[in-house]
């Protein structure tokens, strides 16, 4: 059996930028002194004249990106999620969101899997922050293929986009010929009749594995990958809930304001359904190896499996 290919979605981001840069000369990439970590250095090496290092000044970087967008360029502003969504929130809201400018935000090192950098850098609030900005598209890809497609879709979309990428290498799960990425459309990865698992980002592959373990217990789980959290694929979410009668959401983000909240908002109005949210339970993270943190905070395959098994009626 061949070994599963793994790659961090931040790597995918850097590679996709370089590919797009060769096709479109209106792309400008900005970074806040983290080009090696965010992988925008790949673009910098290929197109140094279209790369701007703004230094450790994320709020200013967003302002520069807004100016470039107003001048007709397509800027990709890049930093760690904690800084891109957190430190620069006011500028993202007022300088990008309010005038609805064509700025793309590439936020890497999101979630608990940032690992040893600890709680200050483990951003588990960014989806909630970006979701609430009117007109902001929010994307959280699950693997290399989806991340590359997301960057291309972000470029083609007119308006502000927030893209969430991870530090940890994750399995490639979308390497099939029929895979298509479309903003606002979820992807059914596995059919099932007993419950629906709706996941985003890093835990999607773990959810697929958990579904396999549940099947061995006679529980058939439908697995849905939601790469676009805003706009949410409401039609797919409601149809899946109606079909299976119970839903579990899984995300490497706070259970407050993220994917789980978005799903519950829709279901409470359109298809009242029993829901369990799996994610970071209103706590800060801590320093430690990524794999151990995912296990401790209940986002590894075994933990997801055990939680769902206890939830299913």
Tell me, yes or no, whether 182 lies in a domain. no
How many other C-beta atoms lie within 10 A of the C-beta of residue 225? 25
User: Collapsing DSSP states into helix, strand and coil, what is residue 13?
Assistant: helix
Let me know whether 222 and 122 are in one domain.
Answer: no
Inform me whether the pLDDT recorded for 1 exceeds 70: no
Quick check: 238 pLDDT over 70? Answer: yes
Q: What's the CATH number where 264 sits?
A: 3.40.50.920
Tens digit of each residue's pLDDT (9 = 90 or more) over 102-116: 999 999 999 999 999
- Report CA Rg, the chain: 19
In a domain, 1, yes or no: no
DSSP 8-state class, residue 114: G
Average of pLDDT values for 74-93?
Answer: 98
Catalytic center residues = 58
Evaluate whether 111 touches 253 at the Cβ level (below 8 Å): yes
What is the sign of the dihedral through the CA atoms of 255, 257, 258 and 259? positive
**Is 261 buried (19+), middle (13-18) or exposed (0-12) by CB count in 10 A?**
buried
Host domain of residue 45: 6-171
Mean pLDDT of all residues in the chain?
Answer: 97
Same domain, 150 and 214: no
Mean pLDDT value across residues 129-150? 98
* Structure-model confidence comparison of residues 4 and 163, the more confident one: 163
Peptide bond into 27 cis (omega under 30): no
Phi, psi of 163 (to 5 degrees): -115, 130
Between CA 242 and CA 168 the distance in angstroms is 35
- Identify whether residues 114 and 219 lie together within a single domain: no
The total number of structural domains that make up the chain: 2
pTM for the complete prediction?
0.97
Q: How far apart are CA 60 and CA 82, in angstroms?
A: 15
Give the pLDDT of residue 2. Answer: 57
Virtual torsion, Cα 247, 252, 256, 260, nearest 10 deg: -20
pLDDT tens, residue by residue, 167-219: 999 999 999 988 999 999 999 999 999 999 999 999 999 999 999 999 999 99
- DSSP sequence for 5-72: PEE-HHHHHHHHHHHHHHH-TTEEEEESS-HHHHSTHHHHHH-GGGEEE--S-HHHHHHHHHHHHHTT
pLDDT at 250: 98
Task: Find all residues with CB under 8 Å of 120, minimum gap 6, and list them.
Answer: 82
Please write the tens of the pLDDT for every residue from 24-64: 999 999 999 999 999 999 999 999 999 999 999 999 999 99
Task: Note whether 222 and 271 are same-domain residues.
Answer: yes
Our measurement of the distance from residue 147's CA atom to the centroid of its chain's CA atoms, rounded to an integer in Å, reads 9
Same domain, yes or no: 211 and 265 = yes
In a domain? residue 181: no
Average pLDDT score over residue span 242-248: 98
Residues 121 and 16 in one domain: yes
Q: State whether the Cα torsion 7-10-15-16 is positive or negative.
A: positive
Residue 313 has pLDDT above 90, yes or no: no
Q: From CA 127, how far away is CA 39, in angstroms rounded?
A: 21
DSSP code of residue 281 = -
- CATH code for the domain of 54: 3.40.50.970
273 has a pLDDT exceeding 90: yes
The end-to-end CA distance of the chain, in Å, is 35
C-beta separation of 31 from 56 below 8 A: no
φ/ψ of residue 94, rounded to 5: -85, -35
């Amino acid at each position: 059996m061949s070994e599963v290919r793994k790659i961090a979605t931040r790597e995918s981001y850097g590679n996709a930028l370089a590919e797009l840069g060769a096709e479109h000369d209106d792309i400008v990439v900005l970074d806040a002194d983290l080009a090696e970590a965010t992988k925008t250095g790949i673009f910098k090496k290929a197109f140094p004249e279209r790369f701007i290092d703004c230094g450790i000044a994320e709020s200013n970087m967003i302002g520069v990106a807004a100016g470039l967008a107003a001048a007709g360029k397509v800027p990709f502003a890049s930093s760690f999620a904690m800084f891109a969504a957190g430190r620069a929130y006011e500028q993202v809201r007022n300088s990008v969101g309010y005038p609805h400018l064509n700025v793309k935000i590439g936020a890497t090192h999101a979630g608990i899997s940032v690992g040893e950098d600890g709680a200050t850098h483990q951003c588990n609030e960014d989806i909630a922050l970006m979701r609430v900005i009117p007109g902001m598209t929010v994307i959280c890809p699950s693997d290399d293929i989806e991340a590359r497609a997301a960057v291309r879709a972000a470029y083609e979309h007119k308006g502000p986009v927030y893209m969430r990428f991870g530090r940890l290498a994750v399995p490639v799960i979308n390497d099939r010929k029929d895979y298509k990425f479309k903003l606002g459309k979820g992807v059914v990865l596995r059919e099932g009749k007993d419950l629906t698992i709706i996941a985003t980002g890093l835990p999607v592959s773990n959810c697929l594995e958990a579904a396999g373990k549940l099947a061995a217990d006679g529980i058939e789980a439908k697995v849905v990958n939601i790469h676009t959290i805003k706009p949410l694929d409401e039609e797919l979410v409601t149809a899946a809930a109606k079909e299976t009668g119970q839903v579990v959401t899984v995300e490497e983000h706070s259970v407050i304001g993220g994917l789980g909240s978005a799903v519950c908002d829709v279901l409470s109005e359109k298809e009242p359904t029993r829901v369990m949210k799996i994610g970071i339970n209103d706590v800060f993270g801590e320093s430690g190896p990524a794999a151990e943190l995912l296990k401790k905070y209940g986002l590894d395959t075994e933990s997801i499996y055990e939680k769902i098994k206890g939830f299913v009626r």
